[in-house]
Amino acid sequence: MKVFVGADYRGFERKGELIRFLADAGFEVVDKGAYEYIEGSDFNDPAIEVATAVRDDFGAFGVLICDSAHGVTMQANRYKGIRAANCETVESAILAREHDDANVLCLSAHFVDTERMGEIAKAFLVTSFVNYERRVRRINRLDERNDYA
Q: Express each pLDDT in 48-105 by its tens digit.
A: 999 999 999 999 999 999 999 999 999 999 999 999 999 999 999 999 999 999 999 9
137 Rama sector, left if φ>0, alpha if ψ -120 to 50, beta otherwise: alpha
Name the residue among 83, 93, 101, 79 with its Cα closest to residue 122: 93
According to the model, what pLDDT value does residue 119 have?
A: 98
Catalytic-labelled residue, pool 70, 87, 99, 106 = 99
According to the model, what pLDDT value does residue 131 have?
A: 72
Catalytic-labelled residue, pool 66, 87, 106, 110 = 66
Average pLDDT along the chain: 92
Active-site annotation holds for 66: yes
State residue 40 phi and psi, 5-degree precision.
85, 5
Q: Express each pLDDT in 132-142 by its tens digit.
A: 666 666 666 65
- pTM score, two decimals? 0.91
Active-site annotation holds for 106: no
Label residue 146 by pLDDT band (50, 70, 90).
low
